[in-house]
Structure 1
Amino acid sequence: MLRRALLVLAIGVALPGGAFARCEDHKPQPRPQNTFAQDVGRDFDRIIEEGWIEFAVYADYAPWSYEEKGKPAGVDIEIGRLIARALGVEAKFRLVAAGENLEADLLNYVWKGAAVGGRVSDVMLHVPYDSALVCRIEQVTFTGQYATESVAIAYRAADYGEKGPTPPFFRFDPVAVENDSIADFYLTSLIGPVDKIHRYRSTAAAVDGLAEGDTKAAMGPRAELEAGLARHPDGGLKVHSPPLVGFARGSWTIGIGINFQHKDLAYAVDEAIETALADGGIARIFAAYGLTFTPPAR
């Protein structure tokens, strides 16, 4: 799943003992030499000619991408529509299930297609960007960075006041996290497998647990926490991003993935995103969803 992909980035790239110089541990991968045309997506000219572009987005991933009244909604959906408008084509969306890791998702939806009945989409949104990924997954062009996400803490202001808790508080105070997530891993590593860490099936459920009084805080990706606060406007909840001691990867860049054969499409999509960053279009999308926007490193 995506949270496991982020966990791999955190423990395999950024923490002491797991880091490499860029591409130091890289072993070239075999190219997909004999892949049929329908399995590697459409080129840019065909997209323009046919008048539509398909984006692969994660299903059930509010506030980023989800279904609302039978239609796709979320920040990533709006960013896809923004890109399509810039290209002068119609945006179509394919809500996909997250696999065991990011490599599997990119194989299934970007550069090859699943082994049984699989096909790729033109663009995949919400792809975490890291230089190690660029080295390791040669069949994908990583580009179009459009936001930065970070780990944060939601809390009840009545319990902590305006300052808010930091991770060491959770040696004593109950905290909600998504099971097997980057926040779960971090807290378990920092303070041990204590019974104060309450695990939920999702970050959204963790915030619901906080709002219901089961815990005093919740920890996870800031956008997901802020979306949870919007569901509980009368809960007296706040979010902050305190320093995370011993955590080298508390934030990450979000971008897109495109089949490596379609460089012209990658350039066009990146230009559309760069323009939307410059004119405030992407910032306005975040504001419309009540989310904090942090520009990406590009």
Structure 2
Amino acid sequence: MTEDAARGIARDGAAGDGASDATAERGAAQRVAWQWARAEDWQPPTELDTETPHPARMYDYYLGGKDNFEADRRAAEAAIAAYPALPLLARTNRAFLGRAVAHAAGLGIRQFLDIGTGIPAVGSTTEVARRVAPDARVVYVDNDPIVATHARALLAGHLAGHTTVLQADLRHPASILDDPGLKQAIDLGEPVALMLVAVLHFIRDEDGADEIVSTLRDALAPGSALILSHGSPDFVPREMADAGTKVYNRASAPLVLRERSRVESFFGDFRLTEPGLVQLPLWGASEDELPEGWQQVSAYAGVAFKS
């Protein structure tokens, strides 16, 4: 599949929901980002590795974005060849994020901790949360320096203190929780929506996936939410899941697909809200909102609350 074809899939799947407006808005945001990047006081991140595919930049490619490198595009093409529904999965995951954030904000949560955010685009956590609650505060966390750079640029126009971007690694949750930037932006004594959207499947069990999530859950106040989506082998032939997993073995993070019961365990004693842990496109969507081919999306999604 060519780059243009992959982006065509993303565009076609978005038709009928303001795709042209979204594309124009994305383009404008990216122009702002690159203008900012050319500013005299900007220095490129020295730790940026453009030769190794990164999941966040591959995800950007699935969504039709331009913030990716040749290595990311080659790996993404290989992943799409193994699992053609990947661009659809990316779009439905973005839609789930929007519905879940709006749900949490509608219930009174005003603080959002989005870990593994990827490159913010149209429909970001900030956009959705502040549409429901203008006083919402969002902290973005990602370990890719290009994500942090572009996130700061794209979000530069937001009110001071309402959006914070941290470059940190989910594999070190204590360092995230202890970060001065997070402490300035979020009061962990009040409810927080912890967002682990399409990120935990890049953490191996042997790297402490359970301990990572438990550390983050334990730091949250009662009334907090856990918003989570996770890739799974449950909805595709095993050979297809294995082929997709092998592609990510060459990226900066592995792909660990987990079955439903294993994904559910990450919620701990948090109470899942309706409709529970379900196939990703189904969470909070009406029948009319389900895209063609949604049955091929092999991932789960759920939102749970701390008592």
With structure 2 as the length reference, what TM-score do the two structures score?
0.26
Greater helix percent: which structure?
2
Greater strand percent: which structure?
1
With structure 1 as the length reference, what TM-score do the two structures score?
0.27
Structure 1 or 2, whichever has the larger Rg, is 1
Higher relative contact order (CA 8 A, sep 6+): 1
